[in-house]
Structure 1
Amino acid sequence: MALGPTVRRVIGLPSAEDWEARREKRGKVKRGKSAPAVSAAGAPQPAAVNPWETAARQLQEQRTAPASASAAAAFASRPAPAPGSAPAPAAPWAMLDERSGSAFARRLGRGVLWTMVGAFALLGAKSVLLPKQTPAAPAQTTNPAQTGPVYPADEAQAVAARYARAYLSWDEATPETRAASLAAVLPAGADTKTGWDGKGKQDVLAVESGTVTPAAQKQARVRVDVLIRSVPAAPPKKGAPAAPVLPAYWVGLDVPVVQAAGRVIVTGPPGMVGIPAAGPKAPELTGPEADTAFGEQTTETVAKFFAAYAAGGDVEAVTAPGASVPPLPTGVLLVEVTSWTADKGSGADRTGTARVMWRTGGAQLEQTYRVELTRVTSADAQRWQVAALHGGTA
Structure 2
Amino acid sequence: MSVLKTVVWKVLNLPEPRPKDSAPQAEPPQQQTTPSAGAAQWVAAGKRVKAERNGHGTATVATEPKQTTRTPATPWVLQEEKSATRALVTTGRIALWSVVALAAVTGVRSWFWPNEPAPAPPVTVKQGPTYPVQDAQAVASRFAYSYLTWDEADPDQRAKALARDMPKGTDTSAGWNAKGQQTVLLAQPGEVDELGGKRARVHVDVLVSSPGEPSKDKKKAPAPAKRKWVGLEVPVLYTSGRIVVTGEPGIVGVPTSGPSVTDQNTADSDVELSAQTQSTVETFFTEYAKGEADSVTAPGASVPPLPSGMTLQGVQSWNVDQGKGSDRTGTAVVRWQIGEAELEQTYRVELTRVASAAAERWQVAKVHGGTS
The aligned residue for residue 298 of structure 1 is 277
What is the CA-CA distance between 1:243 and the residue it aligns to?
A: 7.1
Q: Measure, in 2, the Cα distance between the counterparts of 1:207 and 1:277.
A: 18
RMSD: 3.2
What is the CA-CA distance between 1:244 and the residue it aligns to?
A: 4.9
Which residue, out of 248, 258, 267, partners 2:227?
A: 248
Q: Identify the range of structure 1 (380-389 vs 336-345) with the bigger mean alpha-carbon deviation.
A: 380-389
Seen in structure 2, the aligned counterparts of structure 1 residues 242 and 198 have a Cα distance that, compared at 3 Å, is: farther
Q: Measure, in 1, the Cα distance between the counterparts of 2:246 and 2:173.
A: 14
The aligned residue for residue 160 of structure 2 is 180
Q: Measure, in 2, the Cα distance between the counterparts of 1:369 and 1:166.
A: 40
Q: Give the match's secondary structure for 1:215.
A: strand
Gap runs ≥5 in structure 1: 1-116, 141-145
Q: Measure, in 1, the Cα distance between the counterparts of 2:193 and 2:305.
A: 40
Q: Measure, in 1, the Cα distance between the counterparts of 2:220 and 2:333.
A: 48
Q: Measure, in 1, the Cα distance between the counterparts of 2:120 and 2:323.
A: 48
Confirm or deny: 8 A CA contact 1:348 1:374 kept in the other structure.
yes
Residue-by-residue CA offset, 1:152-186 (whole Å, 9 max, x unaligned)? 22222222111111111111012233223222222
Q: Measure, in 1, the Cα distance between the counterparts of 2:110 and 2:240.
A: 59
Seen in structure 2, the aligned counterparts of structure 1 residues 290 and 202 have a Cα distance that, compared at 3 Å, is: same
Residue-by-residue CA offset, 1:23-52 (whole Å, 9 max, x unaligned)? xxxxxxxxxxxxxxxxxxxxxxxxxxxxxx
The aligned residue for residue 109 of structure 1 is none
Give the aligned residue type for 1:224.
V
Q: Measure, in 1, the Cα distance between the counterparts of 2:166 and 2:197.
A: 17
Within 5 Å, which residues of 2 pair with 1:1-394? Answer: 121-122=106-107, 136=121, 147=127, 149-232=129-212, 239=218, 244-245=223-224, 247-312=226-291, 314-394=292-372
Give the aligned residue type for 2:332.
A
What is the CA-CA distance between 1:265 and the residue it aligns to?
A: 2.4
What is the CA-CA distance between 1:232 and the residue it aligns to?
A: 4.2
Residue-by-residue CA offset, 1:121-170 (whole Å, 9 max, x unaligned)? 447769xx969959858979xxxxx9564422222222211111111111
Q: Measure, in 1, the Cα distance between the counterparts of 2:123 and 2:163.
A: 49
Confirm or deny: 8 A CA contact 1:309 1:327 kept in the other structure.
yes
Give the aligned residue type for 1:193.
S
Q: Measure, in 2, the Cα distance between the counterparts of 1:290 and 1:275.
A: 39
Confirm or deny: 8 A CA contact 2:141 2:189 kept in the other structure.
yes
Q: Measure, in 2, the Cα distance between the counterparts of 1:123 and 1:291.
A: 79
Q: Measure, in 2, the Cα distance between the counterparts of 1:383 and 1:275.
A: 50
Q: Give the match's secondary structure for 1:355.
A: strand
Q: Measure, in 1, the Cα distance between the counterparts of 2:108 and 2:310.
A: 84
Confirm or deny: 8 A CA contact 2:211 2:226 kept in the other structure.
no
Q: Give the match's secondary structure for 2:238.
A: strand
What is the CA-CA distance between 1:324 and the residue it aligns to?
A: 2.7
Give the aligned residue type for 1:364.
E
Q: Measure, in 2, the Cα distance between the counterparts of 1:381 and 1:153.
A: 58
Confirm or deny: 8 A CA contact 1:203 1:231 kept in the other structure.
no
Residue-by-residue CA offset, 1:349-373 (whole Å, 9 max, x unaligned)? 2111110001124121101111112
What is the CA-CA distance between 1:374 and the residue it aligns to?
A: 2.0
Identity among equivalent positions (%) equals 48
Length-normalised TM-score, structure 1: 0.60
Q: Measure, in 1, the Cα distance between the counterparts of 2:242 and 2:177.
A: 29
Q: Measure, in 2, the Cα distance between the counterparts of 1:187 and 1:318.
A: 61
Seen in structure 2, the aligned counterparts of structure 1 residues 190 and 299 have a Cα distance that, compared at 3 Å, is: same
Seen in structure 2, the aligned counterparts of structure 1 residues 132 and 123 have a Cα distance that, compared at 3 Å, is: farther
Residue-by-residue CA offset, 1:269-298 (whole Å, 9 max, x unaligned)? 211111222222221221222211221121
Length-normalised TM-score, structure 2: 0.63
Q: Measure, in 1, the Cα distance between the counterparts of 2:357 and 2:115.
A: 67
Q: Measure, in 1, the Cα distance between the counterparts of 2:346 and 2:108.
A: 74
Confirm or deny: 8 A CA contact 2:201 2:236 kept in the other structure.
yes
Give the aligned residue type for 2:293.
V
Confirm or deny: 8 A CA contact 2:140 2:234 kept in the other structure.
yes
Give the aligned residue type for 2:232.
L
Q: Measure, in 2, the Cα distance between the counterparts of 1:238 and 1:298.
A: 62
Q: Give the match's secondary structure for 2:226.
A: coil
